[in-house]
Structure formats: structure tokens, C-alpha cells
Amino acid sequence: MSGANDHFSTGQNDFYYFTIAGDVEASGNIQSLMNFSNNAKQMCYHYLFRNCDDLLTAPELPATGIAEGCYWGMFQYCTSLTDAP
């Protein structure tokens, strides 16, 4: 899956998120969901996997080339996720 988005979130009150059911293993580079012709916006992945209780593994998270707060709250309440990406 890849996308043409330049963000999933612009702040604490404006965000998209995944709703999943059953055991899920997310893999690959999270940036493949974004439009690479634009720079990632601040908080672009904010709460993306929040409350995904059945998320077992997380996708790769690049540590460079991201805006401030991009990963803030991304895995909040993911109780089955035992290893940090």
C-alpha cells in the first residue's frame, strides 16, 4: 500500500487512524504511506495506531527526515506491542 498523503494528522484534534481487529503485524517503511514530493508535516503520524490493541509488531520508523512530533502518540494504548520499533 502506498499513498499520496502529505499527512495523517495536523494536530491533536485533526488526525486519521487505523482501526484493526485480530492479530496484526505491520511491516515495511511507514513513509511509503506518504507523498514523497512533499516534506512530512509536523505530527504527520500522530495517533496513527492508537488503541490498536492487537498490533503485534510495528513498521519501520526512520529517525531522519521527519518533522517535529511526527511519532507523538503513534502507538498509544497498543497493549500487545512489546517491542519498540
* Residues 28-63: tens digit of each pLDDT: 877 777 765 556 677 888 888 999 999 999 888 877
- pLDDT per residue over 6-30, tens digit each? 556 666 777 888 888 889 888 887 7
15 forms bridges with which residues in the sheet?
9
Q: Report the predicted TM-score, pTM, of the whole model to 2 decimal places.
A: 0.74
Q: Is 27 exposed, middle or buried (0-12, 13-18, 19+ CB in 10 A)?
A: exposed
Site of grid cell 499513498: 3
- Tell me the pLDDT band of 2, cut-offs 50, 70 and 90: very low
Neighbouring residues of 36: CB distance < 8 A, sequence distance ≥ 6: none
DSSP 83: S
Q: What is the pLDDT of residue 80?
A: 93
What pLDDT sits at residue 36? 56
- Cα 1–12–40 angle (5° rounding)? 45
